[in-house]
Structure 1
């Protein structure tokens, strides 16, 4: 059985205020072409179909058009909700869509109810684990704690229990939207840390023939049977060197996996340039980036006059401009952006306490900050679902 694994479409998202609607439409057209030309038997979409819980009409229209195209191909599609999606909104009409071969899995309680596909070698049970907000699904799944490893582990155990009741030789595929330990994130994913824990161990997916992951935007292999497809388009300059693609996964009769990448269209390459203004304008090494979306960071000790206008003459598609002056003697102050780089919400809150009070928060205070952030995140997710 040949599976096409994709995720993180983020329909409705822009790139530094530039609309990506046409690029997303081109990707979805390409996806349908790959389905037809590669004789795909099923499409797996591992979450973050939309960029936000209430997407713009143009994004909904794109979603509607690709569902019709996939249904016309006669190829089953299994899709889960991600942390950017409103699970309840995405799941509307799931029963009716299922009759057309589009199977939406947005209810955590139903994660152990597979879509059963068949080929010449028997059955393939495809399970969908939608994004799990720990505080909201702990009781539903009977998890020990309200954190990502516990709730995802509980969901995986439910799936194993169901799989054990199925005919011998049944192959298993699991879709999940999570941050697996050891995988590489980028700047464009939303933080999902809860209780100070954002990642889950890959061992949670042991025993499944293939796990199709979503959430991280870089295509990568966690293990031979556990992979991220990544986003089909770049959504931050941190993805400058990403090769955007989908996975074509051949699942053999014995559950052996053979995977290869199917590249996706690139609307425009990305370039991150750094240096003094005069150097960026004159250096011939930058000629290759005149057609790229550009992020420039100027290191001039004194901010130049109207640098954006000057840079736009050479780089017509420049989208972002930052300033990080070369450090002058006696000046050890880092930029605000630099101080925040690589720090999560909890660390930033603790840094603020340290800055205001002059001392680190104690363990009790750190716990209060963590619980407050978890409560805000859970409330926001609950509001999106409503």
Structure 2
């Protein structure tokens, strides 16, 4: 049973105010060709289908075309909602879509039913677990103690009827402890969204979404496939791909990655203004790529952004790295802030205002307050 594992399409996303829709259409068309070439038995979409809970109309049309094409090819689709999606909107028409082999996760109500497939090795059951917060699971299982994301996911899994004698696949959208993050991902304070990989021990393959870098966590068969496109410059050095998981007999899973080639790459460029505008510097590159340029000139270039866009029309970000910026810490400071949690940022603000660090009691209070705000969000 061969599955194409995708996640975090983020259809409708804008990066530095540049719309990614054209790039997303291009990469989804490439994925359709790949699905057909691989003769896949199913496609798993592990959450964050859209970039916003209320996606723009064009984003909805892009996903509609993609799902319709898969249905026409006769390839079953197994999709769950992620933290960027509206679970209710993703679940709309789920019963109708299932008749065409497009299975969408319902709004979590305590029941996670499986879809059964069969091949020469027997039965495969696919479970669809949408992104869940502790409050949502606590609402269903009021008698159980659910204080964390790990409690929530463990409880949801424990209430699934899993038959260990068959091959079981889970599509989920959570942060598993030990995985590496990128700048373009949402970070919850203090690692409150952490879930231990052991929670998924009952599954032969776990198709995860949420993190943008392809990686396994704990064991080879608990995997993030990553995004099909680069959505931040922290991903500039990555090679984007889809993950192919082929389940053979029970306990035997073959995993490989197939690279994707984007319409436009995302690259970092560094040098003086004269260097990066020299034809010899850029003539063998795709100047249509999305780029971040770091100029090393000691003096700012007047109207540098507009001048550079004559050569690099998709210049997303212009920075300077020189004596002035190094002394002020502006170059590294912005990146550091993006990677700090809310608790760390609040702690720095408190210390700035009060000339002392928070006490353990104050820190615990702020941690709990932010947790409650995140749950309600």
TM-score using structure 2 length: 0.90
- Give the Cα separation in 2 of the matches to 1:246 and 1:176: 16
Q: Which residues of 2 match residues 191-270 of structure 1 at below 5 A? A: 191=187, 193=188, 196-222=191-217, 223-270=219-266
Task: Provide closer, same or farther for how the CA distance between residues 237 and 289 of structure 1 changes in structure 2, counting only shifts above 3 A.
Answer: farther
- Give the Cα separation in 2 of the matches to 1:251 and 1:196: 32
Q: Which residues of 2 match residues 108-147 of structure 1 at below 5 A? A: 108-110=108-110, 112-141=112-141, 144-147=145-148
**2:171 aligned with 1:175, yes or no?**
yes
- Give the Cα separation in 2 of the matches to 1:245 and 1:278: 35
- Give the Cα separation in 2 of the matches to 1:301 and 1:334: 14
- Give the Cα separation in 2 of the matches to 1:8 and 1:267: 18
- Give the Cα separation in 2 of the matches to 1:323 and 1:144: 51
CA shift at 1:163, angstroms? 1.2
Aligned to 1:60: 60
**2:86 aligned with 1:86, yes or no?**
yes
- Give the Cα separation in 1 of the matches to 2:6 and 2:243: 7
- Give the Cα separation in 2 of the matches to 1:54 and 1:328: 39
- Give the Cα separation in 1 of the matches to 2:23 and 2:207: 24
- Give the Cα separation in 2 of the matches to 1:348 and 1:327: 25
Aligned to 2:349: 352
Aligned to 1:150: 151
Task: Provide closer, same or farther for how the CA distance between residues 183 and 364 of structure 1 changes in structure 2, counting only shifts above 3 A.
Answer: same
Counterpart of 2:290 (choices 264, 288, 293) is 293
User: Which contiguous aligned blocks of 4+ residues in structure 1 show a shift greater than 6 angstroms?
Assistant: none
- Give the Cα separation in 2 of the matches to 1:228 and 1:140: 28
Q: Which residues of 2 match residues 295-374 of structure 1 at below 5 A? A: 295-326=292-323, 331=327, 333-334=329-330, 336-374=333-371
- Residues 278-305 of structure 1 show CA distances to partners (whole Å, capped at 9, x for unaligned) of 4444595565555232112334444332
Q: Give the secondary-structure state (helix, strand or coil) at the position aligned to 1:108.
A: coil
Matched-pair contact (CA < 8 Å) for 1:290–1:316: no
- Give the Cα separation in 2 of the matches to 1:86 and 1:124: 28
Matched-pair contact (CA < 8 Å) for 1:299–1:326: no
**2:375 aligned with 1:378, yes or no?**
yes
- Give the Cα separation in 2 of the matches to 1:111 and 1:346: 34
Task: Provide closer, same or farther for how the CA distance between residues 17 and 195 of structure 1 changes in structure 2, counting only shifts above 3 A.
Answer: closer
Matched-pair contact (CA < 8 Å) for 1:211–1:226: yes
Task: Provide closer, same or farther for how the CA distance between residues 126 and 339 of structure 1 changes in structure 2, counting only shifts above 3 A.
Answer: closer
Task: Provide closer, same or farther for how the CA distance between residues 354 and 274 of structure 1 changes in structure 2, counting only shifts above 3 A.
Answer: farther
- Residues 185-232 of structure 1 show CA distances to partners (whole Å, capped at 9, x for unaligned) of 1111122x2664232222221131100010111122222211111111
- Residues 96-131 of structure 1 show CA distances to partners (whole Å, capped at 9, x for unaligned) of 111111111143335531111112222111111111
Task: Provide closer, same or farther for how the CA distance between residues 341 and 68 of structure 1 changes in structure 2, counting only shifts above 3 A.
Answer: closer
- Structure 1 residue runs of 5 or longer lacking an equivalent are 381-386
Aligned to 1:31: 31
Matched-pair contact (CA < 8 Å) for 2:137–2:156: no
Matched-pair contact (CA < 8 Å) for 2:23–2:264: no
Q: Give the secondary-structure state (helix, strand or coil) at the position aligned to 1:233.
A: coil
Task: Provide closer, same or farther for how the CA distance between residues 267 and 202 of structure 1 changes in structure 2, counting only shifts above 3 A.
Answer: same
- Give the Cα separation in 1 of the matches to 2:214 and 2:182: 11
- Residues 31-58 of structure 1 show CA distances to partners (whole Å, capped at 9, x for unaligned) of 2222222111111110000000000000
- Give the Cα separation in 1 of the matches to 2:252 and 2:8: 26
Matched-pair contact (CA < 8 Å) for 2:8–2:48: yes
Aligned to 2:47: 47
Supply the RMSD in Å over aligned alpha carbons: 2.4
Matched-pair contact (CA < 8 Å) for 1:179–1:198: yes
Quick check: 213-222 or 276-285, which moved more? 276-285
Matched-pair contact (CA < 8 Å) for 2:233–2:268: yes
- Give the Cα separation in 1 of the matches to 2:286 and 2:29: 28
